[in-house]
Chains A and B, each alone.
Chain A
Amino acid sequence: MRQLCTWGGILVVVFASVVGDILLAHAMKQVGDVHALWHRAGLWRVVGRVLSNSNFFLGVTAMAVAFFSLLFALSWGDVSLVAPAAASLTFIGNAFAAKIFLHEKVDRRRWIAAVLVAAGVALLAG
Chain B
Amino acid sequence: MRAKRASLHSRKEGEKVRAALPDSSFGTKRLARNDKRIVTFRKYLVLAGVTVFAAVGDSMLSHGMKQTGNVSLHHLQGVILAVANPWVAIGILLLLAFFASYMNALSWADLTYVLPATSLGYVLLALVAKFALHEQVSPTRWLGIALISGGVGFVAGGPALTAHPHHESPPFAKNAKDGPPTADIAPAVSGGVER
Contact = CB atoms under 8 A, between A and B. Distances in A.
Interface of A: 21-22, 24-25, 28-37, 39-41, 50, 91, 94-95, 98-99, 102-107, 109-110, 112-117, 119-126
Contact of B188 (A39, A116, A119): A39
Contacts of B88: none
B31 A123 contact: no
A67 B171 CA distance: 29
A29 B105 CA distance: 10
Contact of A121 (B111, B148, B166, B183): B148
Secondary structure at chain A's binding surface: helix, strand, loop or mixed? Answer: helix
B152 interface: yes
A126 B140 contact: yes
Nearest to A47: B100
Interface residues of B, number: 52
Contacts of B102: 24
Contacts of B141: 123-124
A117 B119 contact: yes
Interface stretch (B12-20, B59-67, B153-161): B153-161
Contact of A113 (B111, B152, B178, B187): B152
B42 interface: yes
B103 A120 contact: no
A106 to B, nearest CB: 6
B146 A104 contact: no
Contacts of A32: 26-28, 107, 171, 175, 184
